[in-house]
Structure 1
Amino acid sequence: MNDYVQDFPILRQKVNDEQLVYLDNAATSQKPRPVIDAVANYYYHDNANVHRGVHTLAERATESFEKVRTKVKNFINASSEREIVYTKGTTEGLNWIARSYGSTHLKQGDEIVITYMEHHSNLVPWQQLAHETGAQLKYIQLLSDGRLDMGSAEKLITDKTAIVAVAHASNVLGVVNPITEIANLAHKHGAVLVVDGAQSAPHMKIDVQQLGADFFVFSGHKMLAPTGIGILWAKSIFLAEMPPLEFGGEMINSVELQQTTFKEFPWKFEGGTQNIAGVIGLGAAIDYLSAIGMEKIELYERSLVENLLPELLKIEGLKVYGPLDPVQHSGIISFNLGQLHPHDVATALDMQGVAVRAGHHCAQPLMEYLGVSAMVRASFYFYNTSEDVQQLVKAIKATKEFFKNDTV
C-alpha cells in the first residue's frame, strides 16, 4: 500500500521537525491528488448550479452531480440511485431520519434501542426524538472487551421497539458490530434498523442489502472526499413516505399561493443549492477507493493492527480499550498510558510528529460506562505504513520515559 502515499501531498511535510505520521483518520482522512484535482477541475471548467440551467456549464455540472449517485449506489450496492440522498454528512443524515421518519412514526410507549458505544450523532437525535414523542430510549450493554452484548440486545429489542440505531464500527473501541444479526432481530419485532456507517464505509466493502439495514448513513470527509458532503441511503419504501425537512428552491414541483407540491425522492430532500463540488469530490474518492478495492483496504488495515496491538500490550501501564483480537477490530486503537492525561500524551506524541486524537471522542456516555474521562485514539487508513506503526510505538515509549516521574 506504500505506493499510494505519494498521492497525498500533505503527508510529506514535517511537524515539529519530525516527519508527519497522521493517525487521526477516524476524525477525517487526507485527500489524494485525484480528489483535489476533480474539485479544482469543476471550479476551473464547470462551475454552475445544477438542475436549473440549459446552458452548457449547467448541463455539464448537472451530469457530473447526478452521475455520483450511481457511483454511490454501486459502492454500497443499493437497489437504485434514487435511494441516494445527498447530505452534509453522517450527522445530518441521522437527524433527518430522526426528524422525518421518527417524528411521523413514533408515539408514546414506543421504544428506541441504541448502544452505549454510539457517537453523539447517533445518540442525541434519538434522545431528542424520545423527548418529543414520549418514546423511551434504551441502551444495549457491552461485553468486557467492548463488543456488543447480544444477550442484552435480545432482551431489549421487543415488540415495543420501533427503531434500532447502531454504529457499524465504533469510533472509539474499534468494534465492528454484527449488523445482519441485529437487523434480523429488529425486523423480527417489526422495528427498523438505522446504521451509522461513518467508520465502516471508508474501510470495508459495504452491501446495504446484505446487511439488512433500512437506513445507512456516512460522511465523505472520512473517505478521502471533501468536508460537507455525506450520504443518506434508505429503502425506497421509507423515502417515499418521509416528508422533506427543508423547504425552498429546487425541491419543488409547483408552488401556488396556498399550496406546494414537492419532487419525488431523493430530490425532495435536497432543497437549495447543494455542495456540488463536494459531490464531485466524493465521486472521485469512490473511484479512487474502488480502484484499490475495499476488501484489500480492510485486510491491509487489519495487518497494521496485528502489528501494533502486541507492541502496545508490551508497554507497562498502557491499557487498550476494545477487543484485543485484530479480527474483531477496525483500524481504530484507543488507549490510556497510566495516569497521564490523554491530552498530555497526545501533545507529547505531536511533538514527535505523530498526530492522534485525545478526548471523549463525542462519546461521553461510553466514557462514563467505561469509567474514564478520555482516551488517546490512533486511527489508521490504507496510506499508513508499518513504519508509521513503529513510529507510534517509539513515540509512546518516549512519552512514557519523559513522564517517568509521574505515576505511569
Structure 2
Amino acid sequence: MSGPNSVADKPRVVLGVGAGIASYKVCELLRRLTESGHAVRVVPTRDALRFVGEPTWAALSGQPVSTEVWNSVSEVPHVRIGQDADLVFVAPATADLLARAAHGLADDLLTNTLLTARCPVVFAPAMHTEMWEHPATQANVATLRARGCVVIEPASGRLTGADTGKGRLPDPGELFEVAVRILAGTTSDLAGRHVVVSAGGTREPIDPVRFIGNRSSGLQGYALAKVAAARGAKVTLVAANTALPDPAGVSVVRVGSALEMREAVHAAAPAADVVVMAAAVADFRPVSAAGQKIKKTEESDTLPIELVKNPDILAELVVQRASGQVIVGFAAETDNVLEHGRAKLARKGCDLLVVNQVGENLTFGAPDNAGVILSATGSEREIPLGTKEELAAAVWDEVATLLA
C-alpha cells in the first residue's frame, strides 16, 4: 500500500546519462529533482560509468542503477522503465547517444527506454563545438525534434581542456527548471520551430558614460524564451542590457542600443517561424553621441540634446516577413491601455500584440505580469495577474494555434 511519501505518489523521472565529462554536473540536477519530490531512476550508458560510478547515482537517487537489459529480467526493465515514466531527461546527451536515439538503436537499457517512453523526452547535448556543428549531429537533432523530442541548445563557454565554444552543458539549475516546466504539463507543440525573442531595454548613448534608457528588466522576454525552449523550440534570444543568466537551451545575442537590436533581430528573423518583440526599444536616440564625457559648466543650467527617431523594428519585420511567419509585438502603456493597444496593432500589422499597463512600481522588474493578447483577427484574450511564465505560456498557446 502506498503512503503519501512513497515513490508511487511522486512524479517519475528517468535520468539518462551519456558518456561525457559533463556528467558530473548531472549529479546536481539529480539532487534538485529528488529534493523537490521527484522519484528519479538513473539509467546511464555503459561508458557513462567511467565518469561517475554506479554507487554515486544509486546513493543520490535511492534507486537501483543499471546499464543492461539483462539485470532483473523478470521486471522487464527495458520496457517498464520507459512505460512508467512521466519524463525522460537525458544529460549529457553525447553525439553518439543522439545518433543512436535518432536511428532507433536499442543496444543498452537507456536506448531501449527511449524507444518505449510515451512521455515527454528531453535531450541536453554536451560535446565539443565541432561535433555539435557537424551536419550528421545537426541532422540527428532535427530528426529528434521532428518526432516531438525537446533538444535543448547547448551553452557556449569553456569546454574540456582549453577549448571554448558552443557545446557546454547548461547550468543544472536551468536544466531543473526545464524539467519542472515540462512535468507541469508544458507541451512540445513548438518542436522543430525556430523562434526569435527580443528582451530587455535598449540604451542610447549620450556620451561614453551616460545614456537614454528605460526600466525594462528583460524578465518577460526571458520567460518567453524559457517557455519556448521547454516546448521544444530552437530559441534565439536578442537581449539588451539585462543582468539575467542565459536560459538553458537558448542562444543569446547581447546588444546595447536600438540600432544593434535592429541588426541582430533582422539577422535572425529570416530563418525564424516566429518573432516576438518583447524588448523595450527606445523610440528616440541622440543625433550624435559625444566622444568624451560631457562636463558640467557654470555658464548654463541646461544641456539641450537633439533626438532622432529610432527605426520601427516591429513594423520592418512585418513588411519583410517570410511566408507563414508569425510576428508578435508588445505594447507597454501607462493609460488607456486597450485603446492604445488596438491602435498600435492596426498600425504595426503584426499577428498578435500583447498590451499591458506599466509604471514605476508596475511590471518592470516584478516577477508577475498581466495583459491582454490582441489578435489581428479581432479576438482579445485577457491574461490575469500571474507569473511572467504564465503570461508567456498564454502567448505561445496563441502562437501555436496560428502556426497550426
Greater relative contact order (CA < 8 Å, ≥ 6 in sequence)? 1
* Structure-2-length-normalised TM-score: 0.28
Highest CA radius of gyration, 1 or 2? 2
